[in-house]
Amino acid sequence: MNSSFSEDSSEFHNLRDLIYSSPIMLFMKGSPDFPLCGFSKKVVEILKFYTDDFGFFDVLKDDVVREKIKIFSNWPTFPQVYARGELIGGCDIVTLLHEQGSLREKLSVNV
């Protein structure tokens, strides 16, 4: 695999487009209906507490996205939760924010 990655590359823009493809975007293993990792499963459960309206991308189905988004966001694991293009974090951070009561604001969910 060609691992070169620059901000000028079309891959960068494709990745950005993907991250922005939904106001809340979850990069996970499996799907919300069938998570294939306990960390992804937990984050789906937490997100669903606030809304069912989020996009997802299954990184197990695309090794290029799986590796490049780690570099792009400087975040080495999945799940990764984004709100309006901004990385919120993975399972630990999302769980903590949920428990602290500040996740709703981070997600900008008005429900």
Ligand X SMILES: N[C@@H](CCC(=O)N[C@@H](CS)C(=O)NCC(=O)O)C(=O)O
- List the binding residues for [2Fe-2S] cluster: 37
**Is 38 within 8 Å of 77 (Cβ atoms)?**
no
Minimal distance in Å, beta carbon 103 to ligand X? 14
Q: Which is nearer to ligand X, 91 or 107 (CB)?
A: 91
Minimal distance in Å, beta carbon 91 to ligand X? 3
Q: Contact residues for ligand X (CB under 6 A)?
A: 29, 37, 39, 66, 77-79, 90-92
Based on its alpha-carbon atoms, the radius of gyration of the chain, rounded to whole angstroms, reads: 14
* Residue 88 host element (H or E): strand 86-89
**Is 26 within 8 Å of 88 (Cβ atoms)?**
no
Minimal distance in Å, beta carbon 75 to ligand X? 9
Let me know how many helices (H) and strands (E) the chain has, helices first.
Answer: 5, 6
Q: Which is nearer to ligand X, 88 or 109 (CB)?
A: 88
What DSSP letter does each residue of 10-46 carry, written as one string? HHHHHHHHHHTSSSEEEEESEETTEESSHHHHHHHHH
Minimal distance in Å, beta carbon 94 to ligand X? 8
Q: Which is nearer to ligand X, 92 or 105 (CB)?
A: 92
Chain residue at closest Cβ approach to ligand X: 90
